[in-house]
Amino acid sequence: MMEHEELIQGYFKQSLSEADSQKVIRLLKDDAEFKAAFETYQEMHMAFKKAEYDNLKAQLQAVESKISEQTKPWYSQPWLRYAAASVLVIALGVNFFFGGSDNLYDDYFETYPNVYQPVIRGAASTSISDAFVFYENGEFEQAAASFKQLLEDQDDINLKFYRAMALLNAGDTQQALPLLEQLSETAFEFQAESKWYLALTYLKLDQTEKAKPLLEQMDAIDAEFKAEQRSSILKEI
């Protein structure tokens, strides 16, 4: 029998059998300790991918800089360098005075993983699995539409949460906001997560006065979820 750590690693490597994939789904729903370990591994996996991306980006920028020096681009002209610097200073000033809360949203927002019904590769397709396939593949507009259609037939609060997540990732704050406001006031599996994403949405909308109490309330619901990030944001707002 596979240990929990092997199951989690196998899920992210997409190497599990269908039976073991079904076991992961059951454990995520029934075993809080397994779910916590799964989410921790997910965060580490995402952080590793981001580090890889940042490293590649830095290498490409170094190559671009070297090429630019060799080809003497337009900004080798002194007056053009001064003009570019002036534009940069103005842009930074605008960002400092008008973009603070929105920047916090960008800094702290990340896609919430599918821990409700992980996709089993090769399994028979269903309406719910199709919606989560869209979600896991980053096709968030299609995912949001699929979740909406599912909710017309069943009032599943967990699907409402993932519809809100899909809408946020698709950039549709207007539709996501009322859903998150409803979910954050409802006691269910993802209430703490709903409050977190609602607080981030308020920050994006420059409604800091609404975001702050939400972040403070989360201690009473889930002292662990995004605790470090919450503390950092509360120091900045």
Do 34 and 147 lie in one domain? The reply is no
Number of domains in the chain: 2
Residue 88 confidence (pLDDT): 44
Would you tell me how many other CB atoms lie within 10 Å of the CB of residue 212?
16
The domain boundary, picked from 27, 46, 71, lies at 71
Query: Both 128 and 195 in a single domain?
Result: yes
In terms of domains, do 116 and 206 share one? yes
Closest C-alpha to 119, from 12, 229, 236: 12
Q: Are residues 51 and 143 in the same domain?
A: no
Which pTM does this prediction carry?
0.62
Residue 89 pLDDT > 70: no
Q: Which two structure tokens, joined as six digits, stand for 2? A: 């596979």
Model confidence over 124-170: pLDDT tens digits?
A: 788 999 999 999 999 999 999 999 999 999 999 999 999 999 999 99
Residue numbers of the domain that contains 126: 106-236
pLDDT tens profile 109-121: 999 999 888 877 7
